[in-house]
Amino acid sequence: MFIRRGNFISLTILALLLFILGGCGGDKQPAEQALPTLKVGMMPITDNLPFWLAEENGYFAEEGIEVELIGFPSALERDSAFTAGQIDAGIGDMLAVAAMNNAGTEVRAVSVGQGATPGENRFAILAAPDSGITSPEQLKNVPIAMSLNTINEYLTDRLLQTQGLQSGEIVKNSIPKLPLRLEALLNGSVKAATLPDPFATLAEIKGANLVVDNMENTVAQTVVIARKATLDQNLAGMQKLMRAYARAVEDLQTDPLQYDKLIVEKARVPGEVLASSVRPLALHFTAPVLPDEAGVNEVIQWMNEHQLLDKELGYGDLVDDRVLK
């Protein structure tokens, strides 16, 4: 069998091209794989403001990650989404972290949200406008409306015990839904209630008496929570998420109220609260830090005392330092 000279030259050139192209292809590094979309559970609370601001300012995109902010009306529904694997991260508190791990859902606190320094994440115990109650000792054996087995109850115990009340003198009335609790306080159906901001500030504007709050301590810290599976499988994504979050916190430290549109639309803070001179809204954020071990251990001890834990949990079971490293 004979091959014509022209055809032979053409085949030779083709072979050389294939060899060169093949060699070049072998030197190429594989393209960087896109990180999975991170789904963050969002409640209408001011603690989530850095996430909304990071999205608005394009910080997630600049970090090279896709982030979906998914709204939930309550902590219960957010925690259910963690359990179902529908979200990767969210803002909650150490009681929620411990409760989910106790129930078999492995999540970890990766940073403090608000409450790293006193004056952040305000909660208050207030008395009804016409109750005549203005001091903690007047709350002995007076039912206080709150959400039981949550940060509300934990903070109420801690604040009143530091004011000299014994555990048996703190009476609790379960009203889980915040709007109903606020209404009951203002119309006198209950004599006292524990409320977070902006509800606490709104109650004061409308005449409720401030009895005690946490403005001088860090009792009620919120934390950024992440699924352990997400930390194991997409640590780089979580680190980028928190870098974007930290950039938004820097923006907020100058003047958070300049973002009043986000605060009203997303966190649903009433305009009268933002405009109030009676009790200016306490809105402070600190750069991401890990929860302190002593504070976490106090939460675990309180939950054990209230028989809320079946498992033996420690700091290392609830906090992961990999994201902030």
Task: Provide the domain limits for residue 172.
Answer: 123-213
> Looking at the domain assignment, is residue 17 inside a domain?
no
Domain co-membership, 162 together with 50: no
Q: Last residue of a domain, which of 213, 240, 262? A: 213
Residue pair 88/293 in contact (Cβ under 8 Å)? The answer is no
Per-residue pLDDT of the chain (325 residues), as tens digits, is 444 444 444 444 444 444 444 444 444 434 456 788 999 999 988 999 999 999 999 999 999 999 999 999 888 899 999 999 999 999 999 999 999 999 999 999 999 998 888 878 889 999 999 999 999 999 999 999 999 999 999 999 999 999 999 999 999 999 988 899 999 999 999 999 999 999 999 999 999 999 999 988 878 889 999 999 999 999 999 999 999 999 999 999 888 888 988 999 998 898 888 888 777 787 888 899 999 999 999 999 999 999 999 999 999 999 999 999 8
> Looking at the domain assignment, is residue 181 inside a domain?
yes
Predicted structure pTM score: 0.84
> Looking at the domain assignment, is residue 151 inside a domain?
yes
Residue pair 279/201 in contact (Cβ under 8 Å)? The answer is yes
Domain co-membership, 46 together with 74: yes
Q: Last residue of a domain, which of 161, 187, 213? A: 213
Domain co-membership, 128 together with 177: yes
Cite the DSSP H helix spans in the chain: 5-27, 49-56, 59-63, 75-83, 94-102, 151-162, 178-186, 199-205, 228-233, 235-254, 260-265, 271-274, 293-305, 315-318
Domain co-membership, 161 together with 181: yes
Q: Are strands 89-93 and 209-213 parallel, antiparallel or unpaired?
A: unpaired
Q: Last residue of a domain, which of 154, 185, 213? A: 213
> Looking at the domain assignment, is residue 288 inside a domain?
yes
Domain co-membership, 141 together with 168: yes
Domain co-membership, 106 together with 224: yes
